[in-house]
Amino acid sequence: MARCITTMVEIRKLCRLGLLPLASAMIYSSAVSAGDAASLPADPHDLSGVWMNDNTLDETLKRSGLKRLDPKSATPAPPAARSTDVLTPAYREKYDALADERARYAEGVQTCHWPGMPAILSYPYPFEILHTPGRITMIYEAESQVRRIYLDRDEHLPFDELDPSYNGDSIGHWEGNTLVIDTIGFNTHATVWGDLPHSEDMRIVERMAYVDEDTVHSEVTITDPQAFKQPITRTLVYSKRPDWRIREYSCMENNRDAPDAQGNRQGGVVEQAAP
Amino acid sequence: MYRLLRRCVVVMVTAMIAGPAAAHHSFQMYDQQNETWLEGTIKEFQWTNPHSFIQVNVEQDGKMVEWSLEGGSPNILSRNGWKRTVLQPGDAVRILIYPLKSGEPGGSFIEVHKQDGTVYYYHG
């Protein structure tokens, strides 16, 4: 028991430091997969509340007591999840075509679009989980997106009902204290982390469990036999934020980084100087 | 020792968050190697998504030039201590920015100092 508690403290510390891969390795190597019983909330099946991705820029800086990154530090290597090595040859071609398309725009130009899955899972904005009979609902601050996870059916929608969508069709069940969410039925308008293109055959499995009273880990596994040679995995860490409220966020409100008809950046600069 | 520790934290932080930092927009058009102070008067604070903008009038070579300074979404700024009312037209401010690489009067703001001594930081 004491060893488990020590392990959990270490894992938490690693997570707080942003050393997720190390923390994940410790979780897998310890016998504790879903938190020490003593540190779990009274009802480990109750995920209700507002949650925040622990490893966003601002959350990480706040934990470190910093006000910004050191701009002089070397450009970091991309995280493993971004590697294009995972792409099949056909999807490597699609990736290159997408990159060429983006290169047409002036530096810094960005269009607005829904994040889609799985990007919504790691956005730098919180989300709220609601429990109602037979369903768990996740309301995301980003673009006011909603995911409905059906606990009251164990099969996905039939093919002729499964309209390809940004967030897919999610069904869930509990395995012990772990909520397992299985999602299929995606459109191809959004990309996987690192701008990786995927097919409509993508499947995302999330395994969410408390590791302590106010922290949940979600182990995400993404498979797509057309696009990816092997599964893409990532562990996300979410902290409960009882004092946060979900605000509105719409990229369409004032996107001055949108490209104009020629692909140039529209805004950001006021051309006419005030008298 | 503290400096070394701080440096380590910075490196780790940089390595871990390159992705989320660019979750919506890149700030690649700003020169992050060349921070600059601006002194001027607030014209307008656009408290809008996906990004906020501070429009500030700066006197340069005897004439007023309006600068447009981009920063985080209200969602992020509000959790870093900002409110939509913290900058009012006419407020005198000193702002630390990363200027546009193009040389045009724009940039991204890093910290905003008001005359009453209050400071607002984009991050952290």
ipTM of the complex model: 0.77
- Chain A and chain B share a number of CB contacts under 8 A equal to 175
CB A95 within 8 A of CB A53: no
Question: For residue B6, which residues of chain A lie inside 8 Å, CB to CB?
Answer: 66
Domain definitions of chain A by residue range: 43-69+79-240
- According to the model, what pLDDT value does residue A2 have? 39
How far does B115 lie from chain A, in Å, by closest CA?
20
Does B72 contact A58 at a Cβ distance shorter than 8 Å?
yes
pTM: 0.80
Q: What pLDDT does A204 receive?
A: 98
B66 → chain A, closest CA residue: A273
Q: How far B68 CA lies from chain A's nearest CA (Å)?
A: 6
Q: Which residues of B touch A257 (CB under 8 A)?
A: 25, 50-51
pLDDT at A21: 40
Lowest mean pLDDT: which of A25-29, A102-106, A221-225, B86-90?
A: A25-29
Is the pLDDT at A139 greater than 90? The verdict is: yes
- pLDDT of residue B57 exceeding 80, the answer is yes
| B106-114 vs B63-71, strand pairing mode | parallel
Structure tokens at A217: 């880990």
Strands B119-121 and A146-150, sheet pairing: unpaired
Q: Which has the closest alpha carbon to A172: A144, A138, A202?
A: A138
Options 3.30.1960.10, 2.40.128.20, 3.40.640.10, 3.10.20.340; CATH of A43-69+79-240: 2.40.128.20
Picking from A13, A57, A107, A192 by the largest number of B CB atoms within 10 A of its own CB, the best residue to mutate is: A57
Which residues in chain B have their CB less than 8 angstroms from residue A124's CB?
A: 20, 23, 76
Q: Judging by DSSP bridges, how do beta strands B36-46 and B119-121 pair with one another?
A: unpaired
Between A30-39, A158-167, A169-178, A213-222, the lowest mean confidence (pLDDT) is in A30-39
Contacts of A267 in chain B (CB under 8 A): 68
Average pLDDT score over residue span B1-8: 41
Helix, strand, or coil (residue B91): coil
Write down the mean pLDDT value for chain A.
82
Put simply, the chain A residues between 127 and 156 with a CB less than 8 A from any chain B CB are 141
Which position has the higher pLDDT, A5 or B76?
B76
Q: How confident is the model at residue A52 (pLDDT cuts 50, 70, 90)?
A: very high
- The arithmetic mean of pLDDT across residues A241-268, rounded, is 78
Amino acid B53 reads F
Mean pLDDT of B88-100: 97
Give every CB contact of residue A94 below 8 A, 6+ residues apart in sequence. Answer: A197
Does residue A31 register a pLDDT over 90?
A: no
Interface contact flag, A68 B121, Cβ < 8 Å: yes
Candidate from B33, B51, B68 with C-beta closest to A72: B33
Distance from C-alpha of A242 to C-alpha of A221, rounded to nearest angstrom: 28
Residue B79 predicted with pLDDT over 70: yes
* Residue A167 contacts B, CB cutoff 8 Å: no
Q: Does A253 touch chain B (CB under 8 A)?
A: yes
- B7 pLDDT above the threshold of 70: no
Beta carbons of A188 and A198 less than 8 angstroms apart:
yes
What is the average pLDDT value for chain B, to the nearest integer?
Answer: 83
More confident residue, B87 or A253: B87
- Which tens digits make up the pLDDT trace of A177-216? 999 999 999 999 999 998 899 999 999 999 999 999 999 9
To 5 degrees, how large is the angle CA A224–CA A124–CA A268? 110
Per-residue pLDDT averaged across A253-271, rounded?
62
Q: Is it true that domain B28-121 has CATH number 3.40.630.10? A: no
Mutation target for B interface from A51, A68, A245: give the one with most B CBs within 10 A.
Answer: A68
Do B15 and A64 touch, CB atoms closer than 8 A?
no
- Is A111 within 8 Å of chain B by CB? no
Q: Please indicate if any CB of chain B lies within 8 Å of the CB of A242.
A: no
CB A115 within 8 A of CB A142: yes
- What pLDDT band is residue A162 in, cutting at 50, 70 and 90? very high
Element (H, E) at A133: none
Domain ranges of chain B: 28-121
For residue A12, the surrounding DSSP H or E stretch is helix A2-16
Tell me if chain B has a CB within 8 Å of the CB of A243.
no
pLDDT above 50 (res B19) = no
Judging contacts by C-beta atoms under 8 Å, the chain A residues touching residue B41 are none
Q: What is the mean pLDDT of residues B72-90?
A: 96
CB proximity B104 to A under 8 Å:
yes
Note whether A53 contacts B: Cβ–Cβ < 8 A.
Answer: yes
